[in-house]
Amino acid sequence: MYSINTEVTPTSVGFSSLSDHDVFHMEREFGAHHYERQHMVVRKAEGVWLTDERGRQYLDCLAAYSAANQGHHHPRIVAAVVGALQGNYGSVISNVVYTDPLAKFLQKLGSLVPQLGPRFGQHGNKVLPKNGGVESCETAVKAARYYGWMHKGIEDGKQEIIVFRNNFHGRMITTISYSTSRKYKEGFGPLTPGFVEVPFGDLEATEAEINENTCGIWVEPMQGEGGMYGPPEGFLKGLRELCDKHDLLLLFDEIQVGMGRTGKLFCFEHENVIPDGITLGKALSGGVVPVSAFVCNSEIMDLVFQPGRDGSTYGGYPLGAVAACTAIDVTLDENLPERSREMGAILKAKIDDIAERSPHVKEVRGRGLFIGIEVKNGNAMQYCRQLLDLGMLANDSYGHTIRISPPLVLDESHIDYIAERLEQVLID
Ligand SMILES: Cc1ncc(COP(=O)(O)O)c(C=O)c1O
């Protein structure tokens, strides 16, 4: 049994006076070991920087997997949340009554997203709020299945959804059931049936899997956890055509790549392909409290989600709604999608240059500030550990790729900082 060493000098920043040593031991002794952590205790997070106990700064190139797009501890988002708390409006309110933050959030998000599923009518979008991203992914799956049953007449229990190899939509039973990764699902059976996997980017294989029970196609417009791959030119457009032809719902998971991350507010805007529904999360609430949402054409939402068919105690609670409203305002007012596009282009050019001279780099991929560096030896973490020593936090994607996805508020001096460190690690 571990006991706290009270003789260690207290730190001046962060939540408590626990020493790093105590933090490591307490997390190891009392916490599930479901993440492989890097050896660092964060005491402060502000903008693009993380600070440790000794005051050493690390540029955050992971940004909580794109949850901190607006930068850590954004003053406007924090002030809005603190204001709600001080105004006695922070606690959860029962979903049987109305609140004004939720009304504002639904209106703001529903009209922020371009009209989804225009073939169902132009009466706007509707929003179903949740908390963690995976919850909204489950909601999207429910929407497709119910649509298949109610609208297409598929026998209940026979609905099929097409998903893609190396997809990632979270870690609950249904979402792991259609994961390609054995590690994610082994031992957790029985798994949820009703999913058919095809290679990401393969339109022919997708069409070949469509049958009378298919109700939807569920895809990340760019894969994040699966190795940071963009779709081949025309792939998303082809999926749209298949969905129109066979009357399927086309659903995009924008949880990691939405909210400006790839240089557009929504990743699907790169190819001008309009899905019928999307999921959002992570940066939707500025990385302060968890908020996610399923957004779709209002006709679909009304068809599928009537009282009793879904719900969440905290989904849409005032604090989350306030955080999300402010995070959306910050994203627009600070032109973060454009910033991601501009800064991403500068950073990508520097990384391409390093890659050309590096014996270690296999390929550089990405859009905006969502850049993957695939390494030849397949061990991206080896480089990430060296980067940590040099004052930069990065992590792998799918083992083989170093993920560079910093907060979108970074400037050119930060880009130079990142490039200098990548140069040191990737050039012998
Ligand atoms: C594309 C995508 N969907 C869903 C999720 C799950 O989100 P959460 O971890 O908030 O449940 C993630 C998380 O990384 C993701 O990248």
Confidence band of 39 (pLDDT split at 50, 70, 90):
very high
| pLDDT over 50 at 211, yes or no | yes
Q: How many CA atoms lie within 13 A of 288 on its CB side?
A: 26
- Domain assignment present for 66: yes
Average pLDDT over the chain, rounded to an integer? 96
**Residue 170 Cα, ligand 1 centroid: separation in angstroms?**
5
Predicted pLDDT of residue 428 = 74
CB atoms near residue 89 (< 10 Å): 16
| pLDDT over 70 at 9, yes or no | no
| pLDDT over 90 at 145, yes or no | yes
| pLDDT over 90 at 1, yes or no | no
**Which residue puts its alpha carbon closest to atom 16 of ligand 1?**
256
**Residue 9 Cα, ligand 1 centroid: separation in angstroms?**
38
| pLDDT over 90 at 157, yes or no | yes
**Residue 132 Cα, ligand 1 centroid: separation in angstroms?**
8
CATH number at residue 198: 3.40.640.10
Q: What mean pLDDT is predicted for residues 116-140?
A: 98
| pLDDT over 50 at 315, yes or no | yes
CATH number at residue 392: 3.90.1150.10
**Among 165, 419, 106, which residue's Cα sits nearest to residue 284?**
106
- Domain assignment present for 16: no
What is the DSSP code string of 304-363? H--TTS---SSTT-HHHHHHHHHHHHHHHHTTHHHHHHHHHHHHHHHHHHHHHH-SSEEE
| pLDDT over 70 at 195, yes or no | yes
| pLDDT over 60 at 128, yes or no | yes
Atom number of ligand 1 nearest to Cα 220: 1
Among 256, 278, 279, 370, the mutation site with the greatest number of ligand 1 atoms within 8 A of its Cβ is 256
Predicted pLDDT of residue 3 = 62
What is the DSSP code string of 381-402? HHHHHHHHHTTEE-EEETTTEE
3-class DSSP assignment, residue 416: helix
Name the domain boundary from 333, 358, 388: 333
| pLDDT over 60 at 307, yes or no | yes
| pLDDT over 50 at 270, yes or no | yes
**Among 289, 246, 313, 377, which residue's Cα sits nearest to residue 85?**
289
Q: What mean pLDDT is predicted for residues 209-222?
A: 98
- Domain assignment present for 15: no
- Domain assignment present for 235: yes
> Whole-angstrom Cα distance, residue 228 to residue 243?
25
Among 141, 168, 252, the mutation site with the greatest number of ligand 1 atoms within 8 A of its Cβ is 168
- What tokens does 262 get? 């790839």
3-class DSSP assignment, residue 201: coil
Residues with CB under 6 A from ligand 1: 65, 132-134, 137, 168-170, 220, 224-225, 253, 255-256, 281
Predicted pLDDT of residue 360 = 98
Predicted pLDDT of residue 15 = 82
Chain centroid to Cα 243, Å, comes to: 24
Residues 6+ away with beta carbon under 8 Å from 277: 116, 117, 140, 143, 249, 250, 251, 252, 294, 295, 296, 297, 300
Atom number of ligand 1 nearest to Cα 67: 10
Among 169, 229, 396, the mutation site with the greatest number of ligand 1 atoms within 8 A of its Cβ is 169
**Which residue puts its alpha carbon closest to atom 8 of ligand 1?**
133
* Inter-CA distances, 398 with 64, 79, 374, 380, Å: 16, 37, 10, 9
pLDDT digits (tens, 9 = 90+) for 79-97: 999 999 999 999 999 999 9
| pLDDT over 80 at 5, yes or no | no
> Whole-angstrom Cα distance, residue 178 to residue 238?
22
Pair (126, 184) in one structural domain: yes
Name the domain boundary from 298, 333, 368: 333
- What tokens does 370 get? 């969502």
- What tokens does 114 get? 């371009």
pLDDT digits (tens, 9 = 90+) for 369-390: 999 999 999 999 999 999 999 9
> Whole-angstrom Cα distance, residue 241 to residue 247?
10
Q: What mean pLDDT is predicted for residues 183-192?
A: 97
Pair (109, 177) in one structural domain: yes
| 272 class by beta-carbon count within 10 Å (0-12 exposed, 13-18 middle, 19+ buried) | exposed
- Are the C-beta atoms of residues 230 and 367 closer than 8 Å to each other? yes
Q: Where are the alpha helices (DSSP H) in 94-209?
A: 100-112, 133-150, 173-177, 182-185, 203-208
> Whole-angstrom Cα distance, residue 256 to residue 143?
20
| pLDDT over 70 at 100, yes or no | yes
- Are the C-beta atoms of residues 21 and 12 closer than 8 Å to each other? no
Pair (295, 369) in one structural domain: no
Confidence band of 318 (pLDDT split at 50, 70, 90):
very high
Least confident of 11-20, 120-129, 289-298, 354-363: 11-20
Confidence band of 8 (pLDDT split at 50, 70, 90):
very low
Among 35, 131, 137, the mutation site with the greatest number of ligand 1 atoms within 8 A of its Cβ is 137
| pLDDT over 60 at 12, yes or no | no
**Residue 254 Cα, ligand 1 centroid: separation in angstroms?**
9
**Residue 258 Cα, ligand 1 centroid: separation in angstroms?**
11
**Which residue puts its alpha carbon closest to atom 10 of ligand 1?**
133
- Domain assignment present for 174: yes
Pair (206, 226) in one structural domain: yes
- Are the C-beta atoms of residues 219 and 163 closer than 8 Å to each other? yes
What's the whole-model pTM score? 0.96
Pair (98, 210) in one structural domain: yes
Pair (355, 401) in one structural domain: yes
**Which residue puts its alpha carbon closest to atom 7 of ligand 1?**
133
Predicted pLDDT of residue 6 = 47
**Residue 133 Cα, ligand 1 centroid: separation in angstroms?**
5
Pair (317, 342) in one structural domain: no
Place of tokens 């259609």: 178
Pair (398, 354) in one structural domain: yes
Predicted pLDDT of residue 16 = 87
3-class DSSP assignment, residue 296: strand
Predicted pLDDT of residue 13 = 63
Pair (176, 274) in one structural domain: yes
**Which residue puts its alpha carbon closest to atom 6 of ligand 1?**
170
- Domain assignment present for 421: yes
Question: Could you tell me the residue range of the domain that residue 55 belongs to?
Answer: 35-70+335-426
Packing angle of the helix pair 336-357, 318-333 (nearest 10 deg): 70
Name the domain boundary from 333, 349, 365: 333
Predicted pLDDT of residue 7 = 46
Predicted pLDDT of residue 319 = 97
Atom number of ligand 1 nearest to Cα 135: 11
Pair (340, 315) in one structural domain: no
| pLDDT over 90 at 156, yes or no | yes
Confidence band of 411 (pLDDT split at 50, 70, 90):
very high
Atom number of ligand 1 nearest to Cα 290: 10
> Whole-angstrom Cα distance, residue 260 to residue 333?
12
Pair (397, 329) in one structural domain: no
The set of catalytic residues is: 168, 253, 282
Q: What mean pLDDT is predicted for residues 236-241?
A: 98
- Domain assignment present for 386: yes
Q: Are strands 160-164 and 125-130 parallel, antiparallel or unpaired?
A: unpaired
Pair (96, 235) in one structural domain: yes
Q: How many domains, in total, are found in the chain?
A: 2
- What tokens does 299 get? 């006709």
Predicted pLDDT of residue 354 = 98
- What tokens does 100 get? 């004004």
Place of tokens 């933050």: 101
pLDDT > 70 in the chain, percent: 97
Predicted pLDDT of residue 246 = 98
**Residue 19 Cα, ligand 1 centroid: separation in angstroms?**
31
Q: How many CA atoms lie within 13 A of 415 on its CB side?
A: 20
Atom number of ligand 1 nearest to Cα 282: 10
- Are the C-beta atoms of residues 200 and 164 closer than 8 Å to each other? yes
- Domain assignment present for 26: no
**Residue 193 Cα, ligand 1 centroid: separation in angstroms?**
21
